[in-house]
Amino acid sequence: MIMLGKNGTVTCKFFLAVILISLLSACTQALAADDKSNEDEDLFGMTLQELMDVEIISASQKIETLLETPSNMTVVTSEQIKEWGSRDLKDVLSRVAGFYVLPDRDEWVFSARGSISDNNQKYLILIDSHKMNSIDNFGPGHLMEIPMTLGNVKRIEIIRGPGSAVWGSGALAGVINIITKDAADLGEFQHEISSTLGEDKTYTTDFQMGRTYEKGDWYMFASYGRSDGKRIKQSAATSLPILDTSSGSSSHPYGTYHTSMGRFDNSGMLQFKGNYQKWSFNGMALSSAFNNRHFEIGKGRENYLSNERYFAEAAYNDQLSDWDFTWKTFLGYNRFAYDERKWTTGLTHSMQRTWQDKSVGTSVALQGELTERLSLNSGLEYTYTRCGPDGLLGSQRTYFEDQDINGYAILDYTLADNWKAILGTGINYNDNRGTDELFFSPKAGLIWNASKDTTFKWLFNTAFLRPAVFQSTGPDVDSETMKQYEFIWMQRVGKGNVTTTLYYQQLKGFLNIVSIGGSSQFANSGDYTQKGIEVEYNTPLFDDHSFWANASYGDAKAENFAPTLPYNSIRTDPHGNLLNYPEFMFNVGSTFRFHDKKIFITPSVRFVGSTKYRATPANTPQLTDAGYDDAGSFTYVDLTIGYEPTPNLGMYLGLYNLTNVRSDTGISIWNGTIEQPGRYVGLKLAYRF
C-alpha cells in the first residue's frame, strides 16, 4: 500500500478506506467459515471452482479462465442479471467495484476508477467482441441505453483499466464486452417471450428462439421498448445561464433546466446468429429515438435524438496443425442524429447535427504453442471507415476517410507448474487522427497460483485513445495514454472467494469534448493520477442462499494543467481534486431462495460517497474554492422478487431505489448538480416453450 502513496506517504483517507475494506473482508470470511452446509452449491448456480473456470475472451482475445487472465476482470452472468433485477447496462455497472454511473443531462455516463468522459469516450463497448464505438462521434455515446433490455445477454465481461494491447484505440479506461446467448443457452426450451411493465409508461417485450442441429445451430432475438423516462432537474443553486446561440442572449431563468432521463420514443433490437461446421455468422440492428425538453415549451429548447447501429460479421474457425486459426470479416454502421430546437421571443430555431460512420474490415488470429512451455496469441485487424456528412445549420462537411491497422502478439511462458509470465504488445497504425501515427501498447504480467485456494497477479497494462474525427482538427493533438500497475490477490475463503486489487494508474494528455477557448481547435489539457483499492467478495450461504459485497476507495488527482486554460477545459478544483468522482463506494446484497428455489428475494444496498462538483457558471474566470461544492453522499436500496412456479414460467418484480433518493450528485460536463431519477417499479413476465 505504501507504494501507492506519493513521495512515500499515504493519506489518512486511504488508510481509513483500507481499514473499512479489510473489516468487510474479515466479516465475510467469518460468515463463510460458519457456513458448513450445501458444499456443492455456489453463488449463481455453479460451484465456486466452476466460477473460477468460467471461460472469458475480453482480456486477450482468446478463451481463458479468470485465474489465467492478465487483466482485472469482473464477469456478470445472466443469472446475476436476473437476480439483481438489472434493467440495462447502467444497472449492471452500478454493482461493479470501482464503477460509478451518474446522469448527465440526457444520457448516462460512467467511470472506472475516476476516469469520467463525455459520451463515455474513454471506454470501449463490444457486443460479441465486435467494436461498437464510433470514431466520428467519440465513443459509444448512448449505447448503454440501447436496448432497454438485457434479455439476450449471456454474460458481461468488464475490464477496469487499459485494454489497448489487444483491442487498439478506445480501450483506454475500460473494456465492456457484452456476450449474447446461443441456441444452447435456451436450455430445454426453444422459445422464450417476456414482457415488462413499469412506471413512467415503460414497456418492453422480448422474443428469442433457437435450434440446435448435428452440424450447427441458429439463434434469433427481437426486442422493442418505450418509456417516458423520469423527469429530473438541475439544481438552481448553480446560477448557470444557458445561452441561446441563435440570439446570443441568456434570457432563460436560472434553475429551470428539466430533462427526462431514460425517455425513449422507440427502442428496438434485432439479432440473428448461427453456426455451421467451421463457419459462424452474427448480425445485429439497434435503433432508438428519444426526446428531452429543457425549460418550458416555447421558452427553452427541446432535443430529439436518434441512434442507429448495425453490424454483420462472418467468421471461419479451423485447426491448422496444432494452431487455432480464426478469420473474420465485418461491416458496421453507426448513425447519431441530434435535432435541437430553440425558442426565444418570437423566434423558432432548429439546429440539426448528424454523425455517421460506415466501416468494413477483416481480421485474422492465430493461437498455439511454440514450445511445451511457451504459447503465442496473435492477431491482425484492418478497418476502413468513412465518416460524414455532418449537417450543421444546413452546411455539409466533406467525408472523412480513416484506415486503422491494429495488431497484437502476446506470449505466455510457464516458468514452473504454478507460475506463468505474460509479455506482449499491441501495435496500431493510423495516419489520420493525432500526431502519433504508430503506437505501441505493451503489457506484462506474472501470475502465481500459490495453492489451490490462492492466486497472486502482478500486472502492467497500457492503453491509448486517438482523437475523435472532430477533435483531430487541432495542430498538435496527441492520443491520450494510460499506464496501469495492479496487484491482485484472489483467495478462496470457506465456500466463497475474495478478490483484492491495489492499483495505480496515470492518464496523460486528457482531451475534453469542449474545444479550447470555444474555438474549433482542440488540445491536450492535462494529466491525471489515480490510485486505490477494491475488494470483491461472494459466497453461498446456508441452504440455497448467497451473499455478495464489494467496496472501493480511489484517490484521483490532476497534474500539469496549465493555469491559463479556459474554465470549461478543466475537470478539477484548484487543489487538483478530480471533479464528479466519489472516493468511496460500497455494494452489498444477498439472494434468498425458498420453496424448492421457486421463489427468490434479492435485497441490495449501494452507497456512493460525496462528490465534488463545479458550482459556478462556465464563463467564470476565477478558479477559487468558492466555485466548488460537494454534492454529498447517497444510498440506494433495491429489491428484486422472483417467482418461478414451473421451469417455463417466471414472474419478477423490481423495486429500484426504495428510499426514493432524489438527492443531487455531480454531473460530468456542465456545472452544478442534477437530480437522481428516483424510485422505479417494474414487473416482468417470462414464458418459455
What DSSP string runs through 78-95?
Answer: HHHHHHHT--SHHHHHTT
- Segment 481-495 shows an average pLDDT of 92
Whole-angstrom Cα distance, residue 426 to residue 424? 7
pLDDT of 624 reads: 58
Q: Nearest-5° angle of CA 229, CA 299, CA 241? A: 90
Note the pLDDT of residue 37.
Answer: 35
- Residue 57 clears pLDDT 70, i.e. is over it: yes
pLDDT of residue 486: 96
Residue 212: predicted pLDDT: 93
Average pLDDT over all residues of the chain: 80
- Look at residue 12 in the predicted model and tell me its pLDDT: 43
Give the model confidence (pLDDT) of 200-251 as tens digits: 899 999 999 999 999 999 999 999 998 888 877 765 444 444 443 344 444 4
- Could you check whether the bond before residue 389 is cis, i.e. omega within 30 degrees of 0? yes
Q: Which of 250, 274, 372, 285 shows the shortest CA–CA distance to 617?
A: 250
Q: What is the pLDDT of residue 208?
A: 96
Write the CB contacts of 486 (distance below 8 Å, at least 6 apart in sequence).
72, 161, 457, 458, 459, 460, 461, 501, 502, 503
**How far is residue 59's CA from residue 381's CA, in Å, rounded to a whole number?**
17
Per the model's pLDDT, the better-predicted residue between 333 and 13 turns out to be 333
Find the mean pLDDT for residues 271-299.
80
Q: Judge whether residue 9 has pLDDT over 70.
A: no
pLDDT tier at 669, thresholds 50, 70, 90? low
**Per-residue pLDDT for 259 more than 90?**
no
Average pLDDT estimate for 44-57? 57
Residue 257's pLDDT is what?
A: 60
pLDDT, average across residues 142-151: 70
pLDDT level of residue 300 (50, 70, 90 thresholds): low
The residue with greater pLDDT, 289 or 536, is 536
Provide the pLDDT for residue 108: 80
Q: What is the mean pLDDT of residues 516-522?
A: 63
pLDDT bucket at 299, cuts 50 / 70 / 90: low
AA identity, residue 601:
I
What average pLDDT does the segment 406-434 reach? 92
Strands 123-127 and 115-116: unpaired
- Higher-confidence residue of 678 and 588: namely 588
**Cell numbers that stand for 250 in this block:** 441568456
What is residue 314's predicted lDDT score, i.e. its pLDDT? 97
Q: Does the structure show a pLDDT above 80 at 17?
A: no
Residue 354: what residue type?
Answer: T
Average pLDDT over residues 415-437: 91
Of 118 and 113, the structure prediction assigns the larger pLDDT to 113
Residues facing residue 436 across a β-bridge: none
Residue 602 has pLDDT above 80, yes or no: yes
What region does 366 belong to: left with phi over 0, alpha with psi -120 to 50, or beta? Answer: beta
pLDDT band at residue 470 under the 50/70/90 scheme: confident
Lowest mean pLDDT among 132-136, 357-361, 434-438, 549-553: 132-136
Overall average pLDDT of the 491-503 stretch: 90
The number of angstroms, rounded, from the C-alpha of 643 to the middle of its chain's C-alpha atoms is 30
Q: Which residue has the cell 425513449?
A: 264
> For residue 617, is pLDDT > 80?
no
pLDDT score of 191? 94
User: Which grid cell is 383?
Assistant: 478497418
Q: What is the pLDDT of residues 75-104, one digit of tens each?
A: 999 999 999 999 888 899 999 999 988 877
Residue 15 has a pLDDT of 38
- The answer, yes or no, to whether residue 154 has pLDDT greater than 50, is yes
Q: In percent, how much of the chain has pLDDT > 90?
A: 44
- pLDDT above 70 for 640: yes
Predicted confidence (pLDDT) at residue 380 exceeds the cutoff of 60: yes
Per-residue model confidence as pLDDT tens digits over 305-362: 778 889 999 999 999 888 999 999 999 998 877 776 665 555 555 666 777 889 999 9
pLDDT of residue 116: 78
Give the C-alpha separation, 109 to 480, whole Å.
19
Read off the pLDDT band of 363 (50, 70, 90). Answer: very high
**Sorting pLDDT into bands at 50, 70 and 90, what band is 544?**
confident
Q: How confident is the model at residue 45 (pLDDT cuts 50, 70, 90)?
A: very low
DSSP 15: H
Confidence of residue 588 (pLDDT cuts 50, 70, 90): very high
- The predicted pLDDT at position 625 comes to 61
**Lowest-confidence range among 175-179, 386-390, 464-468?**
386-390
Selection from 19-23, 35-39, 64-68, 359-363 with the highest mean pLDDT: 359-363
DSSP secondary structure letters along 523-579: ----EEEEEEEEEEEEEE-STT-EEEEEEEEEEEEEE---TTS-GGG--B-TT-BBT
660 has a pLDDT exceeding 50: yes
Residue 130: pLDDT over 80: yes
- Model confidence at 381, pLDDT cuts 50, 70, 90, reads very high
Flag whether pLDDT at 661 surpasses 60. Answer: yes
- For position 392, what pLDDT does the model report? 47
- For 248, the grid coordinates are 446570443
Residue 622 has pLDDT above 60, yes or no: no
* Angstrom distance (rounded) from CA 249 to CA 238: 18
pLDDT at 156: 93
Q: Hey, what's the torsion of the CAs at 648, 178, 139, 587, to 10 degrees?
A: 80
Task: Decide if pLDDT at 46 tops 70.
Answer: no
Which pLDDT band, with edges at 50, 70 and 90, does 413 fall under? very high
Domains delineated in the chain: 2-688 (2.40.170.20)
pLDDT given at position 668: 64
pLDDT of residue 565: 66
Given a cut of 90, whether residue 584 has pLDDT beyond it is yes
Mean pLDDT throughout 8-19? 40
